[in-house]
């Protein structure tokens, strides 16, 4: 394999990781701060993508579509927090899983009601489409570079929010001891709604960004949700830094595994056997990574023991 191809695959891995980070950041915040398992996070991703596709279809503007995805997902997030999720904080995880699974079904069928059963169209805006030539002669799609850029910006913004702002202090305090910060006069339920809406908005943004290069369809969020759970388990639940590192690790492992494992097995197997063993093992690679991390660090890379 040439060096150029290898670097291109590394970039692909990083881009996939950054996209996973947008999903995982919200999930880990919600889990870390509120102790809530939110299976409906994938539905918020879908809502973001559908809102973006709809607005892009109406206005033709990709920027407006992105704003719509943030707004729609945040609004949906705030709505379910106020009506459903709020009642689940004191319940055990099984109740939370049941209720949020019900939300997945409601959102999926609701979306079908509004938009029908066929996938929607959302395309890359002309100013971001096509490949650019990077130093070293690598042709790489500009849009994927843009996703990496947006993801890193969001990561920086989140770090600043958590580390430097008053809200960030309250979020961290809420994570440590929710009764105490409520006793200190912080409106904890408003804070929870805010954190939930923030996580939802990030998922919606991920859905819209990815919707332009993938299929905007019902049920698009669930496969990503599973990967996002793997990411937060690897990174350590509740840690934004862990989510970023875990996401990039998962992205690289998945992408490079898909490319390198068949090549590796071809050294000592027939091409056909190498192909099927390699691709089967590649689809397991991130779970093997997760198991390995958990053996070494049971609470994840950056989790609190």
Partner 1 sequence: MNLKTLAMASALTMAACAAQAEVKVGMITTLSGGGAGLGLDVRDGFMLALEQSGRSDIEVIIEDDQRKPDIAVQLADKMIQSDKVDVMTGIIWSNLAMAVVPGAVAQGKFYLSPNAGPSALAGKGCNKNYFNVAWQNDNLHEAAGAYATDATFLNAFILAPNYPAGQDALTGFKRYFDGNVAAEVYTQLGQTDYAAEIAQIRDSVADHVFFFLPGGMGISFLKQYADSGVKKPLIGPAFSFDQGILQAVGDAALGVKNTSQWNKDIDNPTNAAFVASFQEKYGRLPSLYASQGFDTANLLISAVASADVNDPDAFRAALKAAKFDSTRGDFAFGNNHHPIQNIYVREVIKEGDVYTNKIIGTALTNHADAYAPECKM
Q: Which of residues 142-181 bind partner 1 (CB under 8 A)?
A: 143-144
Q: Does 258 bind partner 1 (CB under 8 A)?
A: yes
Q: Does 61 bind partner 1 (CB under 8 A)?
A: no
Minimum Å gap between C-beta 262 and partner 1 is 8
Q: Looking at 40, 78, 120, 173, which residue binds partner 1 (CB under 8 A)? A: 120
Print burial letters for 214-247: b (CB count within 10 Å at least 16), e (below 16). Answer: eebbbebbbebbebbbbbbbbbbbbbbbbbbbbb
Minimum Å gap between C-beta 85 and partner 1 is 24
Q: Does 43 bind partner 1 (CB under 8 A)?
A: no
Compute the radius of gyration of the chain from its Cα atoms: 20
Q: Looking at 219, 273, 287, 288, which residue binds partner 1 (CB under 8 A)? A: 219
Residues in the chain: 305
Minimum Å gap between C-beta 19 and partner 1 is 8
Minimum Å gap between C-beta 138 and partner 1 is 9
Minimum Å gap between C-beta 218 and partner 1 is 6
Asked if residue 208 lies in contact with residue 66, where contact means CB atoms within 8 angstroms, the answer is: yes
Q: Does 205 bind partner 1 (CB under 8 A)?
A: no
Asked if residue 20 lies in contact with residue 150, where contact means CB atoms within 8 angstroms, the answer is: no
Q: Does 141 bind partner 1 (CB under 8 A)?
A: yes
Q: Looking at 158, 220, 234, 248, which residue binds partner 1 (CB under 8 A)? A: 220
Beta carbons within 10 angstroms of residue 180's beta carbon: 11
Minimum Å gap between C-beta 274 and partner 1 is 10
Q: Which of residues 221-250 bind partner 1 (CB under 8 A)?
A: 223-224
Q: Looking at 168, 217, 241, 301, which residue binds partner 1 (CB under 8 A)? A: 217
Q: Looking at 96, 108, 170, 253, which residue binds partner 1 (CB under 8 A)? A: 108
Q: Does 102 bind partner 1 (CB under 8 A)?
A: no
Q: Does 299 bind partner 1 (CB under 8 A)?
A: no
- The C-alpha angle with vertex 98 and arms to 97 and 99, in degrees rounded to 5, equals 95
**Residue 134, φ and ψ in degrees, nearest 5:** -90, 165
Map residue 165 onto helix, strand or coil. coil
Q: CA-CA distance, 25 to 205, in Å (whole number)?
A: 12
Q: Looking at 101, 215, 292, 294, which residue binds partner 1 (CB under 8 A)? A: 215
* Contacts of residue 221, Cβ cutoff 8 Å, sequence gap at least 6: 41, 42, 43, 44, 45, 46, 203, 207
Asked if residue 23 lies in contact with residue 208, where contact means CB atoms within 8 angstroms, the answer is: no
Q: CA-CA distance, 202 to 161, in Å (whole number)?
A: 14
* Contacts of residue 36, Cβ cutoff 8 Å, sequence gap at least 6: 30, 85, 88, 89, 96
Minimum Å gap between C-beta 282 and partner 1 is 8
Minimum Å gap between C-beta 228 and partner 1 is 13
Q: Which of residues 178-197 bind partner 1 (CB under 8 A)?
A: none
Q: CA-CA distance, 291 to 288, in Å (whole number)?
A: 5
Binding site for partner 1 (CB under 8 A): 1-2, 5, 8-9, 12, 15-16, 108-109, 112, 117-121, 123-124, 129-131, 139, 141, 143-144, 210, 212-220, 223-224, 255, 258-259, 262, 271-272, 275-276, 279-280, 282-283
């Amino acid at each position: 394999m040439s060096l150029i191809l290898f670097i291109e695959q590394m970039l692909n891995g990083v881009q996939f990781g950054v996209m996973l980070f947008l999903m995982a950041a919200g999930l880990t915040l919600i889990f870390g701060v509120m102790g809530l398992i939110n299976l409906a996070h994938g539905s918020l991703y879908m809502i973001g993508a559908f809102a973006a596709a709809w607005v892009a279809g109406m206005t033709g503007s990709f920027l407006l579509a992105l704003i719509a995805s943030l707004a729609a997902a945040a609004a949906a997030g705030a709505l379910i927090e106020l009506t459903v999720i709020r009642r689940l904080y004191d319940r055990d995880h099984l109740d939370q899983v049941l209720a949020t699974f019900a939300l997945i079904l409601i959102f999926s069928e609701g979306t079908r009601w509004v938009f029908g059963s066929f996938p929607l169209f959302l395309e890359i805006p002309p100013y971001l489409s096509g490949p650019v030539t990077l130093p070293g002669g690598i042709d790489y799609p500009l849009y994927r570079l843009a996703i990496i850029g947006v993801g890193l910006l969001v990561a920086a913004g989140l770090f600043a929010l958590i580390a430097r702002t008053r809200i960030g202090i309250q979020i961290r305090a809420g994570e440590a001891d929710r009764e105490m910060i409520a006793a200190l006069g912080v409106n904890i339920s408003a804070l929870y709604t805010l954190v939930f809406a923030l996580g939802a908005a990030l998922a919606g943004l991920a859905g819209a960004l990815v919707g332009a290069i993938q299929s905007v369809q019902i049920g698009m969020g669930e496969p990503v949700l599973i990967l996002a759970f793997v990411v937060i388990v690897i990174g350590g639940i509740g840690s934004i830094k862990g989510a970023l590192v875990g996401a990039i690790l998962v992205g690289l492992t998945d992408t490079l595994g898909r490319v390198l494992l068949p090549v590796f097995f071809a050294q000592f197997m027939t091409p056909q056997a190498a192909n099927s063993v390699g691709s089967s093992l590649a689809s397991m690679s991130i779970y093997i990574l997760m198991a390995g991390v958990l053996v070494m660090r049971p609470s994840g890379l950056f989790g609190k023991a």
